[in-house]
Amino acid sequence: MPFLQKRFYKDSAYRDTGSLSKTASPSIDLPAKTNLFNLSGSSVKKSSRTANAMTVDVEDYFQVSAFENYIARESWSKLECRVERNVDAILESFSNKNIKATFFTLGWLAQRYPHMIKRIVADGHELASHGWEHIRVFHQTPEEFRADITKAKQVLEDTSGSPVLGYRAASYSINKTNLWAHDILREAGYLYSSSIAPIAYSEYGIADAPRFAHYRSGEKKVDGPSDDAILEIPITTMAVPTKNIPCGGGGWFRLYPYHLSKWALQWVNQHDKQAAVFYFHPWEIDPEQPRQKNLDWKTEFRHYQNLTRMESKLDRLLSDFNWCRMTDVYDVYAGRSPASTDSTVTLMQR
Protein backbone atom coordinates (compact mmCIF):
# COMPACT_ATOMS: atom_id res chain seq x y z
CA MET A 1 0.00 0.00 0.00
CA PRO A 2 1.51 3.40 -1.01
CA PHE A 3 2.72 5.69 1.76
CA LEU A 4 0.04 8.35 1.26
CA GLN A 5 -2.67 5.72 1.16
CA LYS A 6 -1.50 4.23 4.46
CA ARG A 7 -1.44 7.62 6.17
CA PHE A 8 -4.84 8.69 4.81
CA TYR A 9 -6.67 5.45 5.47
CA LYS A 10 -5.60 5.34 9.11
CA ASP A 11 -6.90 8.83 9.88
CA SER A 12 -10.65 9.00 9.34
CA ALA A 13 -10.72 12.62 10.50
CA TYR A 14 -9.75 13.61 6.99
CA ARG A 15 -12.70 11.92 5.30
CA ASP A 16 -15.88 13.68 4.13
CA THR A 17 -19.29 12.14 4.61
CA GLY A 18 -22.55 12.60 2.74
CA SER A 19 -23.09 13.88 -0.77
CA LEU A 20 -24.73 16.53 -2.89
CA SER A 21 -24.10 14.56 -6.06
CA LYS A 22 -27.03 12.78 -7.66
CA THR A 23 -25.27 9.47 -7.12
CA ALA A 24 -23.26 9.42 -3.94
CA SER A 25 -21.76 6.05 -4.68
CA PRO A 26 -21.39 3.76 -7.70
CA SER A 27 -23.86 4.67 -10.35
CA ILE A 28 -24.19 4.11 -14.05
CA ASP A 29 -23.15 1.87 -16.92
CA LEU A 30 -21.82 3.51 -20.05
CA PRO A 31 -21.32 1.74 -23.38
CA ALA A 32 -18.01 0.55 -24.75
CA LYS A 33 -15.59 3.29 -25.73
CA THR A 34 -12.76 3.76 -28.18
CA ASN A 35 -9.40 5.39 -27.62
CA LEU A 36 -9.19 9.18 -27.43
CA PHE A 37 -7.35 10.73 -30.40
CA ASN A 38 -6.53 7.19 -31.63
CA LEU A 39 -9.52 5.70 -33.36
CA SER A 40 -7.63 2.63 -34.46
CA GLY A 41 -7.49 1.32 -30.89
CA SER A 42 -9.76 -1.48 -29.74
CA SER A 43 -12.90 -0.64 -27.79
CA VAL A 44 -12.89 -0.93 -24.03
CA LYS A 45 -15.87 -2.07 -22.00
CA LYS A 46 -16.22 -0.17 -18.74
CA SER A 47 -17.83 -1.51 -15.61
CA SER A 48 -20.40 0.26 -13.48
CA ARG A 49 -18.63 3.08 -11.63
CA THR A 50 -19.27 6.47 -10.09
CA ALA A 51 -20.41 9.17 -12.52
CA ASN A 52 -17.78 11.91 -12.53
CA ALA A 53 -17.94 15.38 -14.08
CA MET A 54 -15.72 16.07 -17.10
CA THR A 55 -15.21 19.77 -17.79
CA VAL A 56 -13.33 21.78 -20.40
CA ASP A 57 -12.25 25.38 -19.76
CA VAL A 58 -12.53 26.86 -23.24
CA GLU A 59 -9.83 29.49 -23.61
CA ASP A 60 -7.01 29.80 -26.12
CA TYR A 61 -3.30 29.57 -25.38
CA PHE A 62 -2.80 33.37 -25.33
CA GLN A 63 -5.62 33.92 -22.80
CA VAL A 64 -4.19 32.01 -19.85
CA SER A 65 -3.60 33.92 -16.62
CA ALA A 66 0.10 33.04 -16.66
CA PHE A 67 0.53 35.08 -19.87
CA GLU A 68 -1.39 38.18 -18.79
CA ASN A 69 1.86 40.09 -18.13
CA TYR A 70 3.31 39.00 -21.47
CA ILE A 71 0.42 39.23 -23.96
CA ALA A 72 -1.77 42.35 -24.00
CA ARG A 73 -5.51 41.76 -24.29
CA GLU A 74 -5.59 44.37 -27.03
CA SER A 75 -3.48 42.07 -29.19
CA TRP A 76 -5.67 38.96 -28.82
CA SER A 77 -7.64 39.57 -32.01
CA LYS A 78 -4.39 39.75 -34.00
CA LEU A 79 -3.00 36.41 -32.79
CA GLU A 80 -3.43 33.00 -34.36
CA CYS A 81 -6.45 31.43 -32.72
CA ARG A 82 -6.30 27.64 -32.40
CA VAL A 83 -9.24 27.02 -30.09
CA GLU A 84 -11.67 25.92 -32.83
CA ARG A 85 -9.51 23.10 -34.15
CA ASN A 86 -8.70 21.94 -30.62
CA VAL A 87 -12.34 21.99 -29.53
CA ASP A 88 -13.26 20.09 -32.70
CA ALA A 89 -10.73 17.40 -31.76
CA ILE A 90 -12.12 17.20 -28.23
CA LEU A 91 -15.70 16.98 -29.48
CA GLU A 92 -14.81 14.21 -31.90
CA SER A 93 -13.03 12.29 -29.17
CA PHE A 94 -15.91 12.69 -26.72
CA SER A 95 -18.30 11.54 -29.43
CA ASN A 96 -16.24 8.44 -30.10
CA LYS A 97 -16.25 7.70 -26.38
CA ASN A 98 -19.95 8.56 -25.96
CA ILE A 99 -19.03 11.11 -23.28
CA LYS A 100 -21.01 14.26 -22.52
CA ALA A 101 -19.14 17.05 -20.74
CA THR A 102 -19.49 20.63 -19.55
CA PHE A 103 -17.67 23.36 -21.49
CA PHE A 104 -16.93 26.47 -19.40
CA THR A 105 -16.47 28.97 -22.22
CA LEU A 106 -15.26 32.56 -22.50
CA GLY A 107 -17.82 34.98 -23.86
CA TRP A 108 -15.05 36.62 -25.91
CA LEU A 109 -14.62 33.37 -27.83
CA ALA A 110 -18.35 32.74 -28.17
CA GLN A 111 -18.78 36.13 -29.84
CA ARG A 112 -16.07 35.35 -32.40
CA TYR A 113 -16.69 31.64 -32.98
CA PRO A 114 -20.46 31.07 -32.81
CA HIS A 115 -20.27 27.86 -34.87
CA MET A 116 -18.00 26.33 -32.24
CA ILE A 117 -20.55 27.15 -29.55
CA LYS A 118 -23.41 25.73 -31.58
CA ARG A 119 -21.53 22.51 -32.22
CA ILE A 120 -20.79 22.05 -28.50
CA VAL A 121 -24.51 22.28 -27.73
CA ALA A 122 -25.59 20.28 -30.80
CA ASP A 123 -23.37 17.42 -29.64
CA GLY A 124 -25.29 17.26 -26.35
CA HIS A 125 -22.78 18.94 -24.06
CA GLU A 126 -23.53 21.50 -21.38
CA LEU A 127 -22.47 25.06 -22.13
CA ALA A 128 -21.40 27.08 -19.08
CA SER A 129 -19.65 30.41 -18.49
CA HIS A 130 -15.96 31.08 -17.92
CA GLY A 131 -16.55 34.83 -17.77
CA TRP A 132 -15.99 37.30 -20.58
CA GLU A 133 -12.23 37.53 -21.13
CA HIS A 134 -10.50 35.54 -18.40
CA ILE A 135 -9.99 38.26 -15.81
CA ARG A 136 -9.37 36.82 -12.38
CA VAL A 137 -12.07 37.77 -9.89
CA PHE A 138 -9.63 39.22 -7.35
CA HIS A 139 -8.70 41.81 -9.99
CA GLN A 140 -12.33 42.96 -10.31
CA THR A 141 -14.64 45.14 -8.26
CA PRO A 142 -18.11 43.75 -7.55
CA GLU A 143 -19.51 46.05 -10.24
CA GLU A 144 -16.94 44.91 -12.81
CA PHE A 145 -17.57 41.28 -11.92
CA ARG A 146 -21.33 41.68 -12.33
CA ALA A 147 -20.93 43.28 -15.75
CA ASP A 148 -18.47 40.56 -16.82
CA ILE A 149 -20.58 37.54 -15.88
CA THR A 150 -23.83 39.12 -17.12
CA LYS A 151 -22.37 39.91 -20.54
CA ALA A 152 -20.82 36.46 -20.87
CA LYS A 153 -24.06 34.70 -19.91
CA GLN A 154 -26.11 36.73 -22.36
CA VAL A 155 -23.77 36.14 -25.31
CA LEU A 156 -23.43 32.42 -24.56
CA GLU A 157 -27.21 31.99 -24.30
CA ASP A 158 -27.99 34.11 -27.35
CA THR A 159 -25.42 32.22 -29.43
CA SER A 160 -26.34 28.73 -28.30
CA GLY A 161 -30.07 29.06 -27.68
CA SER A 162 -29.53 27.17 -24.41
CA PRO A 163 -29.67 28.33 -20.78
CA VAL A 164 -26.33 28.82 -19.04
CA LEU A 165 -26.55 27.64 -15.44
CA GLY A 166 -22.93 27.27 -14.39
CA TYR A 167 -19.88 29.49 -13.96
CA ARG A 168 -16.20 28.89 -13.35
CA ALA A 169 -13.92 31.75 -12.38
CA ALA A 170 -10.70 32.30 -14.31
CA SER A 171 -7.96 30.34 -12.55
CA TYR A 172 -10.27 29.42 -9.63
CA SER A 173 -9.94 33.01 -8.46
CA ILE A 174 -12.78 33.11 -5.94
CA ASN A 175 -10.99 33.19 -2.61
CA LYS A 176 -11.56 34.51 0.91
CA THR A 177 -11.26 38.12 -0.28
CA ASN A 178 -14.14 37.98 -2.78
CA LEU A 179 -16.76 35.51 -1.56
CA TRP A 180 -19.28 38.24 -2.39
CA ALA A 181 -19.02 36.86 -5.93
CA HIS A 182 -21.40 34.00 -5.08
CA ASP A 183 -24.25 36.39 -4.31
CA ILE A 184 -23.70 38.28 -7.55
CA LEU A 185 -23.64 35.03 -9.51
CA ARG A 186 -26.97 34.01 -8.01
CA GLU A 187 -28.49 37.43 -8.71
CA ALA A 188 -27.31 37.15 -12.33
CA GLY A 189 -29.18 33.88 -12.76
CA TYR A 190 -26.43 31.30 -12.29
CA LEU A 191 -27.38 28.22 -10.29
CA TYR A 192 -23.95 26.79 -9.60
CA SER A 193 -20.31 27.74 -9.50
CA SER A 194 -17.16 25.64 -9.78
CA SER A 195 -14.71 28.34 -8.78
CA ILE A 196 -13.04 27.30 -5.53
CA ALA A 197 -9.91 25.20 -5.23
CA PRO A 198 -9.71 23.85 -1.65
CA ILE A 199 -5.92 23.95 -1.59
CA ALA A 200 -3.12 26.13 -0.22
CA TYR A 201 -1.36 27.55 -3.27
CA SER A 202 0.29 30.88 -3.98
CA GLU A 203 -1.81 31.64 -7.07
CA TYR A 204 -5.27 30.67 -5.83
CA GLY A 205 -7.23 28.53 -3.40
CA ILE A 206 -8.98 28.42 -0.02
CA ALA A 207 -7.15 25.82 2.02
CA ASP A 208 -9.94 25.20 4.53
CA ALA A 209 -12.87 25.30 2.08
CA PRO A 210 -15.15 22.25 1.92
CA ARG A 211 -13.77 19.72 -0.54
CA PHE A 212 -17.10 18.78 -2.07
CA ALA A 213 -20.32 20.40 -3.23
CA HIS A 214 -22.00 22.76 -0.78
CA TYR A 215 -24.35 25.73 -0.80
CA ARG A 216 -23.16 29.28 -0.22
CA SER A 217 -24.99 32.51 0.53
CA GLY A 218 -22.95 35.64 0.97
CA GLU A 219 -19.63 34.79 2.54
CA LYS A 220 -20.98 31.80 4.41
CA LYS A 221 -21.59 28.15 3.73
CA VAL A 222 -25.26 27.40 4.39
CA ASP A 223 -27.04 24.21 5.33
CA GLY A 224 -29.22 23.76 2.29
CA PRO A 225 -30.73 25.18 -0.88
CA SER A 226 -32.70 28.43 -0.92
CA ASP A 227 -33.66 31.12 -3.39
CA ASP A 228 -30.55 33.16 -2.55
CA ALA A 229 -28.06 30.29 -2.24
CA ILE A 230 -25.80 28.97 -4.96
CA LEU A 231 -24.27 25.52 -5.25
CA GLU A 232 -20.46 25.65 -5.18
CA ILE A 233 -18.75 22.58 -6.65
CA PRO A 234 -15.00 22.75 -5.93
CA ILE A 235 -12.41 21.15 -8.14
CA THR A 236 -11.43 17.72 -6.84
CA THR A 237 -8.70 17.24 -4.27
CA MET A 238 -7.48 14.37 -2.14
CA ALA A 239 -7.12 14.94 1.60
CA VAL A 240 -4.00 13.88 3.47
CA PRO A 241 -3.27 14.73 7.12
CA THR A 242 -1.51 18.04 6.44
CA LYS A 243 -3.15 19.39 3.29
CA ASN A 244 -5.38 18.79 0.29
CA ILE A 245 -3.62 17.58 -2.85
CA PRO A 246 -5.05 18.74 -6.21
CA CYS A 247 -6.02 15.86 -8.46
CA GLY A 248 -8.74 17.39 -10.64
CA GLY A 249 -6.77 18.18 -13.77
CA GLY A 250 -4.94 21.10 -15.36
CA GLY A 251 -1.20 21.45 -14.93
CA TRP A 252 -1.23 19.05 -12.00
CA PHE A 253 -2.52 16.27 -14.27
CA ARG A 254 0.24 16.98 -16.78
CA LEU A 255 2.83 17.01 -14.01
CA TYR A 256 1.84 13.84 -12.12
CA PRO A 257 2.52 10.35 -13.44
CA TYR A 258 -0.78 9.00 -14.77
CA HIS A 259 -0.98 6.16 -12.24
CA LEU A 260 -0.89 8.71 -9.38
CA SER A 261 -3.76 10.74 -10.84
CA LYS A 262 -5.77 7.58 -11.43
CA TRP A 263 -5.16 6.32 -7.90
CA ALA A 264 -6.19 9.67 -6.35
CA LEU A 265 -9.43 9.85 -8.36
CA GLN A 266 -10.24 6.25 -7.50
CA TRP A 267 -9.71 7.10 -3.84
CA VAL A 268 -12.21 9.96 -4.09
CA ASN A 269 -14.77 7.65 -5.77
CA GLN A 270 -14.29 4.58 -3.62
CA HIS A 271 -13.32 5.88 -0.18
CA ASP A 272 -14.77 9.40 -0.07
CA LYS A 273 -17.82 8.03 -1.95
CA GLN A 274 -17.84 11.22 -4.02
CA ALA A 275 -17.92 12.18 -7.67
CA ALA A 276 -14.77 13.79 -9.04
CA VAL A 277 -14.67 17.01 -11.07
CA PHE A 278 -11.93 17.08 -13.70
CA TYR A 279 -10.90 19.89 -16.02
CA PHE A 280 -8.51 20.59 -18.87
CA HIS A 281 -8.04 23.24 -21.58
CA PRO A 282 -8.10 22.91 -25.38
CA TRP A 283 -4.59 24.34 -25.63
CA GLU A 284 -3.28 21.48 -23.48
CA ILE A 285 -3.77 19.02 -26.35
CA ASP A 286 -1.89 21.32 -28.75
CA PRO A 287 1.89 21.00 -28.36
CA GLU A 288 2.35 22.81 -31.71
CA GLN A 289 0.84 26.06 -30.42
CA PRO A 290 2.96 29.22 -30.96
CA ARG A 291 5.71 29.33 -28.36
CA GLN A 292 5.93 32.52 -26.33
CA LYS A 293 9.33 34.12 -25.86
CA ASN A 294 11.01 35.75 -22.87
CA LEU A 295 8.93 33.96 -20.27
CA ASP A 296 10.21 33.48 -16.76
CA TRP A 297 11.11 29.87 -16.02
CA LYS A 298 8.13 29.23 -13.77
CA THR A 299 5.59 30.45 -16.33
CA GLU A 300 7.27 28.51 -19.13
CA PHE A 301 7.33 25.31 -17.09
CA ARG A 302 3.71 25.60 -15.94
CA HIS A 303 2.38 26.16 -19.43
CA TYR A 304 4.48 23.86 -21.60
CA GLN A 305 5.41 20.93 -19.35
CA ASN A 306 4.29 17.57 -20.76
CA LEU A 307 2.03 18.97 -23.48
CA THR A 308 3.22 16.19 -25.78
CA ARG A 309 1.95 13.57 -23.33
CA MET A 310 -1.45 15.10 -22.62
CA GLU A 311 -3.44 13.29 -25.33
CA SER A 312 -2.27 9.84 -24.30
CA LYS A 313 -2.97 10.58 -20.63
CA LEU A 314 -6.47 11.82 -21.47
CA ASP A 315 -7.00 8.68 -23.55
CA ARG A 316 -6.36 6.54 -20.48
CA LEU A 317 -8.37 8.79 -18.16
CA LEU A 318 -11.48 8.75 -20.33
CA SER A 319 -11.30 4.97 -20.57
CA ASP A 320 -10.69 4.36 -16.87
CA PHE A 321 -13.61 6.38 -15.44
CA ASN A 322 -17.21 7.27 -16.25
CA TRP A 323 -17.65 10.92 -17.28
CA CYS A 324 -20.75 13.10 -17.53
CA ARG A 325 -21.89 16.73 -17.57
CA MET A 326 -21.96 18.71 -14.33
CA THR A 327 -25.75 18.79 -14.52
CA ASP A 328 -25.85 14.99 -14.78
CA VAL A 329 -23.76 14.52 -11.66
CA TYR A 330 -25.19 17.31 -9.49
CA ASP A 331 -28.69 18.64 -9.01
CA VAL A 332 -27.83 22.28 -9.61
CA TYR A 333 -31.22 23.77 -8.88
CA ALA A 334 -30.67 25.68 -5.63
CA GLY A 335 -34.37 26.28 -5.04
CA ARG A 336 -35.13 22.67 -4.18
CA SER A 337 -33.46 19.87 -2.28
CA PRO A 338 -30.82 18.04 -4.33
CA ALA A 339 -31.48 14.46 -5.31
CA SER A 340 -29.55 11.82 -3.42
CA THR A 341 -29.46 8.09 -3.12
CA ASP A 342 -29.41 8.58 0.64
CA SER A 343 -32.59 9.40 2.56
CA THR A 344 -30.80 12.24 4.32
CA VAL A 345 -28.39 14.62 2.65
CA THR A 346 -25.41 15.60 4.74
CA LEU A 347 -23.47 18.57 3.46
CA MET A 348 -19.81 18.11 2.85
CA GLN A 349 -17.39 19.05 5.62
CA ARG A 350 -13.67 18.88 5.26
Q: Which domain holds residue 194?
A: 3-38+48-329
pLDDT at position 11 = 31
Q: Reply yes or no on whether the pLDDT at 1 is more than 50.
A: no
Instruction: Report the DSSP beta bridge partners of residue 84.
Output: none
pLDDT at position 333 = 80
pLDDT in tens, 167-185: 999 999 999 999 999 999 9
Residue 142 within any structural domain of the chain: yes
Residue 341 within any structural domain of the chain: no
pLDDT at position 19 = 62
How sure is the predictor about 32, in pLDDT bands with cuts at 50, 70 and 90?
very low
Residue 293 within any structural domain of the chain: yes
Residue 136 within any structural domain of the chain: yes
Residue 185 within any structural domain of the chain: yes
pLDDT at position 23 = 54
Residue 255 within any structural domain of the chain: yes
Residue 340 within any structural domain of the chain: no
Average pLDDT, the chain: 83
Q: Which amino acid is at 308?
A: T
pLDDT at position 67 = 86
Contact 180, 216 (CB under 8 A): no
What's the CA gap between 67 and 302, in Å, rounded?
11
pLDDT in tens, 117-157: 999 999 999 999 999 999 999 999 999 999 999 999 999 99
Contact 18, 211 (CB under 8 A): no
Q: Reply yes or no on whether the pLDDT at 58 is more than 70.
A: yes
Residues 233-246 have a mean pLDDT of 94
All residues at 6 or more sequence positions from 211 whose CB lies less than 8 Å from its CB, including other chains: 16, 198, 234, 236, 237, 239, 244, 272, 348, 350
How sure is the predictor about 37, in pLDDT bands with cuts at 50, 70 and 90?
very low
Residue 335 within any structural domain of the chain: no
pLDDT at position 201 = 78
Q: Reply yes or no on whether the pLDDT at 18 is more than 90.
A: no
What's the CA gap between 250 and 252, in Å, rounded?
5
pLDDT in tens, 210-225: 999 999 987 888 888 8
Record the pTM.
0.83
pLDDT at position 105 = 98
Number of domains in the chain: 1
Q: What is the CATH number of the domain that holds 282?
A: 3.20.20.370
Q: Reply yes or no on whether the pLDDT at 7 is more than 70.
A: no
Q: Which amino acid is at 94?
A: F
